[in-house]
Chain A
Amino acid sequence: MSDIVDVKLAVVGGLPPRTDAPWGPKPGRITPARIGVYAFLVVASLFFLMPFYVMLITSLKPMSEIRLGNLMSLPEVATIQPWIDAWAHACTGVDCNGVQVGLFNSLRILVPSVILSIALGAINGYALSFWRPRGSNLIFAILLLGAFIPYQVYLYPLVRMLSVVGLYNRLPGIVAVHTIFGLPIMTLLFRNYYASLPIDLFKAARVDGGSFWTIFFYLILPMSGPILVVATILQVTGIWNDFLFGLIFAGRENLPMTVLLNNVVNTTTGVREYNVNMAATILTALVPLLVYFVSGRWFVRGIASGAVKG
C-alpha cells in the first residue's frame, strides 16, 4: 500500500504529467468551462500569494508611507532599512539585536535535533519492520497515539524531569524535546519505507550471518537514500517552524527564531514598526521556504507520509 501511495504522491509532487495516455475528464479545448477553470486557478493563486506580496512590499516601505494605509500599493520610495533593522536592531524587551540571534539559535537547535531524531527513527523503523522484537507493536501503538495527543499533557512533567537532570532551559534540553516528539513521525516514516523493501533481501543477509548492525549499516542504510531526504525535509521545516517547545524548553539564551519574531512583533512598546516586523517575518519564513522550493516533490511526500496508511 505504502509504495503505491508514494508513487501517487511522487506524481503530485512534481513528476511531469503523463502525456501519452488520456488524462482527466476533459480534453484541452478552449471552452467556457476551460476558461472557468483557469479563472478559478488564477483567483485562487492571487489569494494564496497576496499575504506574501503584502508582507514583501510592507517591508520595503518607510513608515511614513505605511501610515497612509495603502496596503497593497507598491512602495513609492523603496528602502531596505527595515530589513537591516529587523536583522540587527529590532528589540525584544531590552535586547535590541534583531532576529539574527534567533537565526543562529534556531540553527544550533536544528542541526543536532534533526540528526538525532532521524537516527533514532531509522533504527526504530529498521528494528520494528525487520526484527520485530517482543513489544514492537506496543511501542508503535504508543508512539502513534502519542503523536496525536496534544503536547500540553506532556509539558509540565517534562519540564520537571528535565530540571532534575539539569537540562531545562538549556540547548541539550530543547534538542532532547525535539528528538522525543519527532520520534513518532520518524519511526512511522522509516517503518513504512522499510516495510516496502523486499523482505527476502533481509532474509538472505540473515542467512549469510549478518548481525543487526551489519545489516543495518551495509544493507539497509545504503538503500535508505530517498527516505532520508524526506525525513530531513520534514524535520528541518517542522523543527524550524516550532514555537511551543522553543518557548518553553529552550531558555532565554537559546530562543529560536519563531519565538524571537513573535516577541519582536507582539511585545514592542511604543511605535509599532510594521515594515521592520514584516521584514523579520519574511526572514523567519526564509529557511522553510527555501527548503520547500528546492525540494519540490520530496516536500509533498514528507508532509503526506504522516497520515498515509502504511
Chain B
Amino acid sequence: MKLRLSALTPQIALLPTWLIVVFAYVGTVIWSIRISFSSSRMLPEGDFVGLKSYERLFSTQRWVVSVENVAIFGVIFIVGALVLGFFLAVMLDQRIKAESLFRTIFLYPYAMSFVVTGLAWQWILNPSLGLQQMMHNFGWTSFTFDWLARGDRAIYLVAFAGIWQASGLVMAILLAGLRGIDEDLWKAAKIDGIPTWRVYLHIVIPLLGGMFATALVLLAAAVVKVYDLVVAMTGGGPGISTEVPAKFVIDYLFDRQNIALATSASTVMFLAVLFVLGPILYRQYIHNNGRAA
C-alpha cells in the first residue's frame, strides 16, 4: 500500500502545475476564443454571432494600422538587432582589450525595462527640447528631426529604441557561438588565403545558424508582445500612428469596453503566433528532445 501511494507523489507534486496549465493556459485561451464569437460589449454575453466581431475587427482602422505597425516594427527591429548584434559580436571576438567592459556596455540596456527605454528615447527624440533643438543651438538651424511627432515616421523610432535595447542580447548569444567555433577553421582559411570577410559570410554565419535561430525566436516573441515600449514612448500616437495589436487588445478590454472585439483581436494574435512559432518551437525543443538514457 505504501508503495502505491509513493508512486503517486510525482503526480501530486505536479498538481499545482496541472491546475495552472488547465485553467490559466488552456482554459483562458478557449474562453477568450469563445467570447470572440459572441456579441459581448462591456459584459460577456453567452450568444453566438459567428464571425461578426472579426468582420468588425478588420474593418476597424485602428486594428489595420496596428497590424501594419507590428509588421514594420518587427522587420526593422529583428533585422536591425540581428545585424548590429552580429557586428558587435564579431568585433568583440577580435581578441581586443577591455572586452568585458565593452560587453557590459552593450548589454546593459537589456537589463532595463521597455518602459525605461521608451521614456529615455522619448525625451532624447522630442522635437522641442531634444536632439533637434540641440543641433539648432549648435548653429545647424536647418536640421530637422521631428519623426516622433510625425505619424508616418514615429513607428521607425520605436523600432530604433527597441534595437538599442535588444542588440546586446543578440551580441551575447552570437558571441557564445563564435567562441564555440574551432580554431583550426581560422588556420585553414589563412593557409588557403581566403579573405576574412568571406570566411565570415560563407562559413561562420552558416555555422552560427542555431544561435541565429535562438536570437530570432527571442526577438520574434518580443515583437508580438510589444506593448510597454509603445505605451511609454508614444502612447500609440501621434493619433493612432504607432498603435500595435497588443495595445489594441488592452485598450478595448479595459478602456473601450468592447470585449468581443478585443478577444477576436487577441485570437488573431494567438493564431498568428501558433502558425509562425509553433513549428519552430517544435523543432527547437520537443522534437528529439528526450533525455538520452
Residue ranges of A at the interface with B (Cβ–Cβ < 8 Å): 4-5, 8-9, 11-14, 17, 21-28, 34, 37-38, 40-41, 44-45, 47-52, 54-55, 58, 66-72, 120, 123-124, 127-129, 131-135, 137, 139-158, 160-161, 180, 183, 187, 195, 199, 211-213, 237, 240-244, 248, 258, 261-262, 265-266, 274, 277-278, 281, 284-285, 288-289, 291-293, 296, 299-300, 303-304, 306-310
Q: B91 to nearest A CB, angstroms?
A: 5
Q: Is A155 a contact partner of B10 (Cβ separation < 8 A)?
A: no
Interface-central residue, A123, A128, A157, by most chain B CB under 10 Å: A157
Residue numbers in A under 8 Å from B218 (CB-CB) = 306-307
Interface-central residue, A49, A147, A153, A156, by most chain B CB under 10 Å: A153
Residue numbers in B under 8 Å from A284 (CB-CB) = 113, 115-116
Q: Is B291 a contact partner of A199 (Cβ separation < 8 A)?
A: yes
Q: Is B109 a contact partner of A48 (Cβ separation < 8 A)?
A: yes
Closest chain B residue to A15, Cβ basis = B100
Interface-central residue, B17, B217, B228, B269, by most chain A CB under 10 Å: B17
Known: A5-B176, A155-B253, A288-B112. A266 touches B235 (CB 8 A): yes
Known: A67-B129, A133-B10. A180 touches B293 (CB 8 A): no
Q: A250 to nearest B CB, angstroms?
A: 13
Q: Is B124 a contact partner of A131 (Cβ separation < 8 A)?
A: no
Q: Is A258 a contact partner of B179 (Cβ separation < 8 A)?
A: no
Q: B25 to nearest A CB, angstroms?
A: 4
Q: Which 3 A-B pairs have the closest CB atoms?
A: A69-B133, A241-B113, A292-B111
Residue numbers in A under 8 Å from B176 (CB-CB) = 5, 8-9, 11-12, 304
The answer to the question of B94 belonging to the interface, with a C-beta cut-off of 8 Å to chain A, is yes
Closest chain B residue to A158, Cβ basis = B28
28 A/B residue pairs, CB under 8 Å, sorted by A = A5-B176, A8-B180, A24-B93, A45-B102, A48-B109, A48-B164, A51-B120, A54-B120, A54-B124, A70-B137, A71-B129, A123-B14, A139-B18, A142-B21, A144-B286, A152-B269, A153-B32, A155-B250, A213-B9, A243-B113, A248-B254, A258-B113, A258-B115, A266-B235, A300-B107, A304-B176, A307-B218, A310-B285
In Å, the complex CA distance between A133 and B88 comes to 44
The answer to the question of B48 belonging to the interface, with a C-beta cut-off of 8 Å to chain A, is no
The answer to the question of B64 belonging to the interface, with a C-beta cut-off of 8 Å to chain A, is no
Q: B19 to nearest A CB, angstroms?
A: 10
Residue numbers in B under 8 Å from A135 (CB-CB) = 14, 18
A143-B17, A150-B266 provided; 7 other pairs, C-beta below 8 A? A25-B196, A153-B266, A161-B28, A241-B112, A293-B104, A299-B111, A306-B218
Q: Is A262 a contact partner of B94 (Cβ separation < 8 A)?
A: no
Q: Is B116 a contact partner of A281 (Cβ separation < 8 A)?
A: yes
Residue ranges of B at the interface with A (Cβ–Cβ < 8 Å): 6, 9-11, 13-14, 16-18, 20-21, 23-29, 31-32, 35, 44, 84, 87-88, 91-96, 99-100, 102-117, 119-121, 123-124, 128-131, 133-134, 136-137, 164, 168-169, 172-173, 175-177, 179-180, 183, 186-187, 189, 196, 199, 210, 214-215, 217-218, 221, 224-225, 227-228, 231-232, 235, 245-246, 249-250, 253-254, 259, 262-263, 265-267, 269-270, 273-274, 277-278, 281, 284-286, 289, 291, 293
Q: A135 to nearest B CB, angstroms?
A: 8
CB < 8 Å neighbour of A139 from B21, B120, B274: B21
Q: A200 to nearest B CB, angstroms?
A: 11
Residue numbers in A under 8 Å from B11 (CB-CB) = 133-134
Q: Is B273 a contact partner of A149 (Cβ separation < 8 A)?
A: yes
In Å, the complex CA distance between A300 and B123 comes to 29
In Å, the complex CA distance between A289 and B96 comes to 25
Known: A40-B87, A149-B273, A154-B24. A22 touches B100 (CB 8 A): no
Q: Is B231 a contact partner of A199 (Cβ separation < 8 A)?
A: no
Q: Is A45 a contact partner of B106 (Cβ separation < 8 A)?
A: yes
In Å, the complex CA distance between A183 and B23 comes to 14
Q: A266 to nearest B CB, angstroms?
A: 6
Q: B177 to nearest A CB, angstroms?
A: 7
Q: Is A307 a contact partner of B25 (Cβ separation < 8 A)?
A: no
In Å, the complex CA distance between A133 and B17 comes to 13
Q: Is A144 a contact partner of B87 (Cβ separation < 8 A)?
A: no
Q: A192 to nearest B CB, angstroms?
A: 10
In Å, the complex CA distance between A309 and B217 comes to 11
Q: Is B246 a contact partner of A150 (Cβ separation < 8 A)?
A: yes
Closest chain B residue to A50, Cβ basis = B124
Q: Is A156 a contact partner of B95 (Cβ separation < 8 A)?
A: no
Interface-central residue, A9, A133, A278, by most chain B CB under 10 Å: A133
Known: A143-B25, A265-B119. A68 touches B273 (CB 8 A): no
Q: B85 to nearest A CB, angstroms?
A: 11
In Å, the complex CA distance between A142 and B117 comes to 32
Closest chain B residue to A295, Cβ basis = B111
CB < 8 Å neighbour of A54 from B123, B189, B232: B123
Q: Is A120 a contact partner of B16 (Cβ separation < 8 A)?
A: yes
Known: A120-B17, A292-B108. A262 touches B281 (CB 8 A): no
Q: Is B113 a contact partner of A288 (Cβ separation < 8 A)?
A: yes
Residue numbers in B under 8 Å from A23 (CB-CB) = 95, 183
CB < 8 Å neighbour of B27 from A4, A133, A157, A187: A157
Q: A287 to nearest B CB, angstroms?
A: 10
Residue numbers in B under 8 Å from A28 (CB-CB) = 95-96
Residue numbers in A under 8 Å from B108 (CB-CB) = 48, 52, 289, 292-293
